[in-house]
């Protein structure tokens, strides 16, 4: 029995070594820079200096706000979409699921530029607004938080839907009808039946969407520009414009902490007793 347990060690060691070198070593280097003072010792001065600047606080709060909004709206739309998908016949379900996965195969750059065509001053939305007489002049959608929100939502919504569909496929088919027969309304069915049985999918989807919204660069850079800075675009500026690698490391650590905190919070909410 002991020999059987050790048979997989020769294969596991290269994988563990690869994981250590590719993932843990860069994080360790990042930690050493993010918590280092001028003399080389441990210090939190970099974080104090970062949050002391009003622009950095504004960017931090904007990033957090958009991340939470994108994750929350994705969860609402994702549950509705997932419920409809799992209710379809197997053939139709596969086709619809394929359409949802299809955007993930398209370059984020192409998907983001598509929103420029839609939201631009001479784009589809403004053509409709002006054509209907709702506004005499085109409305500026680009380079606003609304444009960044829409772009991030479209970019990461499929991840939420995929996670929730996978979770809802494991819900017993008679659970919802049984709750309805016992007199539960749709609100009670969702919060007392569907949500508890799909909380793992919500945790996975919420973590992926929130983390993706925090760390996205292309979409905020194109749709928000310099007027709607987020932490990732600010990090890019610190590295490529200012050559301020200490501040860039601080921003990277903030993003890591925010991502882990979101995952732990979602797990805590999911496992909370009702």
Cβ atoms 248, 32 nearer than 8 A? no
- For the chain, the maximum distance between any two Cα atoms, rounded to a whole number of angstroms, is 79
CA 108 to chain centre: 14
| pLDDT tens-digit map of 66-118 | 999 999 999 999 999 998 998 888 888 888 888 888 888 888 888 888 888 88
Residue 31 pLDDT more than 60? Answer: yes
Structure tokens at 54: 């009003």
Question: Whole-model pTM?
Answer: 0.85
CA distance 213 to 255: 11
Q: Is 99 exposed, middle or buried (0-12, 13-18, 19+ CB in 10 A)?
A: exposed
Structure tokens at 246: 């200490």
Cβ atoms 122, 39 nearer than 8 A? no
Task: Work out the mean pLDDT of the chain and round it to a whole number.
Answer: 85
CA distance 134 to 105: 36
Report residue 119's pLDDT band, with 50, 70 and 90 as the boundaries.
Answer: confident
| pLDDT tens-digit map of 157-180 | 999 999 999 999 888 888 888 888
Residue 239 pLDDT more than 80? Answer: yes
Secondary structure of residue 8 in the 3-state scheme: coil
Domains within the chain, CATH numbers bracketed: 55-271 (1.10.3720.10)
């Amino acid at each position: 029995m002991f020999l059987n347990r050790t048979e997989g060690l020769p294969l596991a060691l290269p994988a563990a070594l690869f994981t250590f070198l590719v993932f843990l070593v860069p994080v360790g280097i990042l930690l050493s820079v993010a918590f280092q003072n001028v003399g080389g010792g441990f210090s939190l001065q970099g974080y104090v200096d970062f949050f002391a600047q009003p622009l950095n606080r504004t960017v931090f709060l904007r990033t957090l706000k958009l991340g939470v909004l994108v994750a929350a709206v994705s969860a609402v739309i994702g549950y509705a979409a997932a419920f409809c998908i799992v209710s379809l016949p197997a053939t139709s379900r596969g086709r619809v699921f394929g359409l949802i996965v299809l955007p993930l195969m398209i370059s984020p750059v192409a998907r983001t530029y598509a929103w420029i065509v839609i939201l631009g001053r001479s784009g589809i939305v403004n053509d409709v607004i002006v054509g209907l007489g709702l506004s005499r002049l085109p409305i500026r959608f680009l380079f606003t938080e609304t444009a960044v929100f829409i772009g991030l939502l479209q970019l990461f919504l499929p991840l939420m839907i995929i996670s929730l569909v996978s979770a809802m496929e494991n819900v017993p088919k008679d659970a919802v009808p049984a709750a309805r027969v016992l007199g539960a309304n749709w609100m009670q069915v969702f919060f007392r039946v569907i949500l508890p049985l799909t909380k793992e999918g919500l945790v996975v989807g919420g973590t992926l969407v929130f983390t993706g919204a925090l760390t996205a660069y292309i979409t905020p850079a194109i749709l928000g520009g310099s007027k709607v800075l987020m932490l990732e675009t600010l990090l890019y500026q610190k590295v490529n414009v200012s050559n301020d690698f200490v501040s860039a490391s601080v921003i990277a650590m903030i993003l890591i902490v925010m991502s882990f905190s979101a995952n732990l919070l979602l797990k805590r909410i999911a496992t909370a007793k009702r």
